[in-house]
Structures are given as C-alpha cells and as structure tokens.
Amino acid sequence: MQVAGSNYRAVNWHSDAAGSSGAVQWIEQRLLPHRFQQVVSSDPEQVALAIESMQVRGAPSIGATAAYGLALAWQKDQPHFFEHWMPRFRMTRPTAVNLFDACAVMESCARVGADTDMMIERAVAYADAEVAANQCMGEHLAPLLAIGERRILTHCNAGWLAAVDWGTATSGIYQLHEAGESPFVWVDETRPRLQGARLTAWEMQQAGIDCRIQVDSAAAWMIAQGKVDAIVVGADRIAANGDVANKVGTYHLSLAAGRHDVPMYVAAPSSTFDSACASGNDIPIEMRGDEEVTMMDGTDASGTIRHIRVAASGVAANNPAFDVTPFENITAIVSEQGIWQP
Ligand code: MRU
C-alpha cells in the first residue's frame, strides 16, 4: 500500500544491486505512527528478534517474515538450519499459526535439497501468495460491508502492516473505498499495545479513509446505539470447528454484535486455518508482560518518544494477548477460498 505516494509492503526480500547476497527488509511497526522507518538485516537472528519484539506483527506478516528469515538462515548458516534456525523461528510467537505454516513450508523446501535461490524464491512466493489471498478475500468481503451507512468497526490492526499488503479485515474496506462507497471506520484503540490507535488509524489516514479512534470499552455502546453497520476483524488462528483466536477484545465485540444483530465478519487467509486444533480450547494463547499494561509509549510535545508509567509501581497485571470467539458468535468467516457461516 502507499505511504506518502510510494508503494510499500510490511516486509519484503531485499537484494543488493548484484543480487548476490540477500537481506530482509521490514517496517519497524513499534515506531509508528510517529516515525516511518524501514530496517534491513542480513542476520537471521535479527529477523527472529523482529518477530519476537513485535517490530513486525500480525499473523500473515509474521509468517512471511519467518519465511524470509529462514531463507536467509539457509543462505548464511545452512549447517545449523534444522537444529537451530527452525526451532528459533518457531519459538518467536505462539498464537498466530501462520508462523508455523510458513516454517513448515520452508522446512519441506529445505528437506528436498533446495539451493539458496530456491529457498529465496519459495519465501517470496509465500509472501506473494498471502498478498494475492488478501486481495481476493477483500473482493468477497467488500459487498458484505456495503450495508447501511458503511460504518464499519474494526479491532486491532488487521491491515496491510499485519498482512504484508492489503490487510485481511481492511482489504474489504480498501476495496469499498476504491469503489467509491465512502466507508467510515470506528477504530478500537486496542489495549494494551494500541495497534488500532497507532497502526489502523494511521493506515486509514494514509489511504484517505474517514475514521475515528475510540476506546475499546466504547464499542459495545456504539453498537447498542445503532452506530455500527458491520464489524470486521482478522484472526491469528482458526480452529477446525471455526472458533477464532484474535486480539483480546474480539470476544466481547462478538457478544455485543449478537445482542444487537450487527453482522460480525472475520477475514483471514488459508494460512490462518489450523485443522490440527479441533476447537478454540486447543489454541495456545500468548500471555505477555505486565509492562504492556502498566506502562505506555507516546511522543511528548517535542516529538520525543517516551515510555511512561500509568499504574502504581509494583502492581501486577493480567495480559492475555488473544481471546477465542466461538464460531456461533460470528456471522461469517471470509477467506480467499470463500465464505463460511456457522
Ligand atoms: O499481537 P499482534 O499485533 O501480532 O496481533 C494481531 C492481531 O491479533 C490482529 O487482530 C489480526 O487480526 C491478526 S493479523 C491480520
């Protein structure tokens, strides 16, 4: 998608002019919306750390970054690929199954004796397939979102930053916008890391889509007031029975949507579906550190990024990063392959 008139992806393969050695390039998402900065690294450990520290986040972007990182590991350190780099990438984040899907794809490619060029081509193809899936799912999603006054609520960032390009939930919104339908987006700020306020609102601003940030606890009331025509979110893992793990707060949105008859859509590519998990009970939910809840980041009046404490020092926090929404609470799951209803 475009930033200040130029095209970017959340993550991509970066070749030098001679094309002889490679690197991974990603947008440092922790700095947004205050600074737009790309990082280039030819060190696979730095790529693994970028996922772990959430410089790159969002299920499809995590998967694509791991694919690129493993191609890099094959290029730089082939003797340790299976016993070090495969487990290293698999341990970076636990919930988004796209990570494990990408790792499995790259491992199979390596096991059949691929050379470095083939590994790089496989990683590039993996990321390109995610982008094509997003675009296609947006085509399924846009007509569903073209209802009422096109006031769409979304949670977290299931935008192009989270999904290499187009986004999952936002793909339908972008396509509605391109069709001249003038969508309006209620952006849940999404505590604790504020991916909605920091990333989705910035994406909407870059695309010229009207939006307003609201605190997560305003969402149910706005739904009750009839001010939301549809809800669309992404997913980090979808179990075989259709239960959806997504950013914490998604479950309570589904309760309000059901109570007030507002359609709630989940948009995710095939790489987010996990047939090995029978139901949401089998999905591992990432527990994150107390500091994400008790501290906050932002810029002061001079534009300097500050890390400040909001809770009393020493008070403990509870910080599950995801929750599970039962399939029955969802109007439909939309992927590049079609639309599923409970
Ligand atoms: O912890 P994050 O920022 O990686 O979580 C991302 C999400 O949960 C998003 O809601 C998203 O839907 C999944 S990625 C399109």
Percent of residues, the chain, with pLDDT higher than 70: 99
Are 209 and 260 within one domain? yes
Structure tokens at 16: 């030098």
Q: Report which protein residue has its CA nearest ligand 1's atom 2.
A: 58
Q: Is the peptide bond prior to 263 cis by the omega test (within 30 degrees of 0)?
A: no
Are 122 and 145 within one domain? no
Are 110 and 202 within one domain? no
Pair 126, 16: CB distance under 8 Å: no
- Indicate which CATH number applies to the domain containing 260: 3.40.50.10470
Structure tokens at 59: 């299920």
Distance CA 148, CA 228 (A): 9
**Secondary structure (DSSP) of 177-214:** HHTT---EEEEE--TTTTHIIIIIHHHHHHHT-EEEEE
User: What would you report as the CA-atom Rg of the chain, rounded to the nearest whole angstrom?
Assistant: 19
CA of 104 to the centre of ligand 1 (A): 21
Structure tokens at 154: 């979304």
For 15-72, how does the pLDDT look when each residue is reduced to its tens digit (9 = 90+)? 875 556 799 999 999 999 999 999 999 999 999 999 999 999 999 999 999 999 999 9
Amino acid at 150: R
Last residue within a domain, chosen from 100, 131, 162: 131
Instruction: Work out the widest C-alpha separation in the chain, in whole angstroms.
Output: 60
pLDDT at 164 > cutoff 70: yes
Are 183 and 260 within one domain? yes
Residue 267 structural domain: 139-339
CA of 310 to the centre of ligand 1 (A): 24
Tally of structural domains, the chain: 2
Q: Which atom of ligand 1 is nearest to the CA of 57?
A: 4
Dihedrals φ, ψ of 153, to 5°? -105, 135
Q: Which atom of ligand 1 is nearest to the CA of 155?
A: 10
Are 112 and 160 within one domain? no
CA of 90 to the centre of ligand 1 (A): 17
CA of 181 to the centre of ligand 1 (A): 26
Are 126 and 173 within one domain? no
The residues assigned a catalytic role are: 236
Q: Report which protein residue has its CA nearest ligand 1's atom 8.
A: 247
Are 86 and 210 within one domain? no
Mutation test residue for ligand 1: of 53, 57, 203, the one with most atoms within 8 Å of CB: 57
Are 55 and 159 within one domain? no
Q: Report which protein residue has its CA nearest ligand 1's atom 5.
A: 58
CA of 269 to the centre of ligand 1 (A): 13
pLDDT given at position 193: 98
pLDDT given at position 17: 57
Q: Which atom of ligand 1 is nearest to the CA of 93?
A: 4
CA of 57 to the centre of ligand 1 (A): 7
Distance CA 14, CA 5 (A): 20
pLDDT given at position 19: 57
Are 156 and 264 within one domain? yes
Give one word for 207, left, alpha or beta, with left for phi > 0 and alpha for psi -120 to 50.
alpha
Are 14 and 77 within one domain? yes
Structure tokens at 237: 């893992």
pLDDT at 209 > cutoff 90: yes
Distance CA 154, CA 195 (A): 11
Structure tokens at 142: 């846009």
Q: Which residues are near ligand 1 (CB < 6 Å)?
A: 57-60, 156, 158, 162-163, 168, 195, 233-236, 246-247, 321
Last residue within a domain, chosen from 71, 101, 131: 131
Pair 246, 266: CB distance under 8 Å: yes
Are 292 and 188 within one domain? yes
Contacts of 198 (CB under 8 A, 6+ apart): 32, 33, 157
Q: Which atom of ligand 1 is nearest to the CA of 247?
A: 8
What average pLDDT does this structure show over 105-131? 97
Are 121 and 231 within one domain? no
pLDDT given at position 21: 76
Pair 279, 243: CB distance under 8 Å: yes
Distance CA 44, CA 98 (A): 18
Last residue within a domain, chosen from 131, 160, 189: 131
- Indicate which CATH number applies to the domain containing 118: 1.20.120.420
Positive or negative, the Cα torsion across 276, 281, 284, 286? positive
For 217-230, how does the pLDDT look when each residue is reduced to its tens digit (9 = 90+)? 999 999 999 999 99
Q: Which atom of ligand 1 is nearest to the CA of 236?
A: 13
Q: Nearest 10 degrees: CA dihedral of 278, 268, 106, 24?
A: -140
